[in-house]
C-alpha cells in the first residue's frame, strides 16, 4: 500500500471505531501491518493528527482522539452552527472540479446504501461533507469542521443496530439531501444550501440519537417479585 492508501485505511478504521477512541497506536505493529517504515508512518500519523483523528503526545506516542462527555456535549452545541456556515460558503466558492468530485463521491455513497455496507456508508458520507469543507476554503472554520465530521462519524457507530426498514428510509432521505445540496452548490444558492443543511442536521441528529440510545434491558417482573 502507498502512503495515501495507508492514510485512508487508518482514517476509515478510526471513523468506524475499529480503532477505538483513546487507544494507543503502536508504531511497531502498524509498521508491520502496513509494511512501512517508521518515518513515513509518523508522517501519516501527523497528517491524521492535523485532521483531529489522532492525538500525538510528546514522549508517549500517538493515540486515537478521545470522546469524552464534554466532547459529546460540545459536539451537539457546535455542529449546527459550523455546518451551516460551511454550507453557505461552499455554495459561494465551490469550483467545478470539486462539484464533479462531489458527484462521484455521492454515487459511492449511494452504492454503499444500496448494498447496506455500513462502514462504506459512513466513510463516503464523511468524504462528501469533508469535500464541502474544502469548497468553503475557510482557514478559521475548516479545522473545527473536520473534527466535527470525525466525531459525527464515530458517534454514529455507538450502539449500532442492524439496518431495518426505518433506518433504510432515513439513509435514503440523507442521500436525497445530498443530491439537493449538489444542485444548490452548483447554482451558487447559499440560502437554499443553509436550509438544506439545517434539515440535514435535524435528520442527522435524529439518526445519532437512534444510534447512541441503546435498547432498554429486558425487565422480568416475575423474577423481580420472586
CA 199 to CA 174: how far, in whole Å? 10
CATH topology for 69-212 is 1.20.120
**Residue 106 confidence (pLDDT):** 98
Kindly indicate the confidence band of residue 119, based on its pLDDT and cuts at 50, 70 and 90. Answer: confident
Sheet of strand 24-25: strand arrangement: 24-25, 61-64, 54-57
Is pLDDT above 90 for 99? yes
**Residue 160 confidence (pLDDT):** 43
Is pLDDT above 80 for 204? no
**Residue 192 confidence (pLDDT):** 97
The rounded mean pLDDT for the chain is 86
Kindly indicate the confidence band of residue 226, based on its pLDDT and cuts at 50, 70 and 90. Answer: very low
Is pLDDT above 70 for 24? yes
For the chain, give every domain's residue range: 3-64, 69-212
Evaluate whether 112 touches 121 at the Cβ level (below 8 Å).
Answer: yes
Kindly indicate the confidence band of residue 213, based on its pLDDT and cuts at 50, 70 and 90. Answer: low
3 state DSSP class of 55: strand
Report percent pLDDT > 70 for the chain. 86
CA 205 to CA 211: how far, in whole Å? 10
**Residue 186 confidence (pLDDT):** 97
Model pTM score = 0.76
Task: Convert the pLDDT of each residue in 124-149 to its tens digit.
Answer: 998 999 999 999 999 999 999 998 99
Q: Which residues touch 108 (CB under 8 Å, ≥6 apart)?
A: 120, 124, 127
Kindly indicate the confidence band of residue 70, based on its pLDDT and cuts at 50, 70 and 90. Answer: confident
Lowest mean pLDDT among 166-175, 176-185, 192-201: 166-175
CATH topology for 3-64 is Arc Repressor Mutant, subunit A (1.10.10)
Per-residue b/e over 191-218, b at no fewer than 16 CB within 10 Å?
Answer: ebbbebbeebbeebeebbeebeeeeeee
Lowest mean pLDDT among 100-104, 116-120, 159-163, 200-204: 159-163
Amino acid at each position: 500500500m502507498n502512503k495515501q492508501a495507508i492514510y485512508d485505511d487508518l482514517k476509515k478504521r478510526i471513523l468506524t471505531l475499529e480503532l477505538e477512541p483513546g487507544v494507543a497506536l503502536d508504531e511497531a505493529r502498524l509498521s508491520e501491518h502496513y509494511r512501512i517504515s517508521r518515518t513515513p508512518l509518523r508522517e501519516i500519523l501527523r497528517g491524521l493528527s492535523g485532521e483531529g483523528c489522532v492525538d500525538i503526545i510528546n514522549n508517549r506516542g500517538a493515540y486515537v482522539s478521545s470522546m469524552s462527555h464534554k466532547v459529546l456535549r460540545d459536539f451537539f452545541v457546535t455542529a449546527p452552527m459550523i455546518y451551516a456556515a460551511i454550507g453557505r460558503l461552499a455554495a459561494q466558492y465551490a469550483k467545478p472540479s470539486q462539484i464533479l468530485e462531489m458527484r462521484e463521491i455521492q454515487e459511492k455513497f449511494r452504492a454503499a446504501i444500496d448494498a447496506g455496507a455500513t462502514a462504506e456508508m459512513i466513510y463516503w458520507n464523511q468524504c462528501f461533507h469533508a469535500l464541502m469543507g474544502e469548497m468553503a476554503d475557510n482557514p478559521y472554520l475548516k479545522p473545527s469542521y473536520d473534527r466535527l465530521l470525525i466525531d459525527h462519524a464515530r458517534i454514529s457507530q455507538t450502539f449500532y443496530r442492524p439496518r431495518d426498514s426505518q433506518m433504510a428510509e432515513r439513509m435514503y432521505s440523507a442521500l436525497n439531501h445530498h443530491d439537493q445540496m449538489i444542485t444548490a452548490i452548483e447554482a451558487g444558492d447559499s440560502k437554499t444550501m443553509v436550509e438544506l443543511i439545517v434539515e440535514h442536521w435535524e435528520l442527522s441528529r435524529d439518526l445519532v440519537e437512534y444510534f447512541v440510545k441503546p435498547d432498554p434491558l429486558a425487565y422480568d417482573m416475575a423474577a423481580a417479585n420472586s
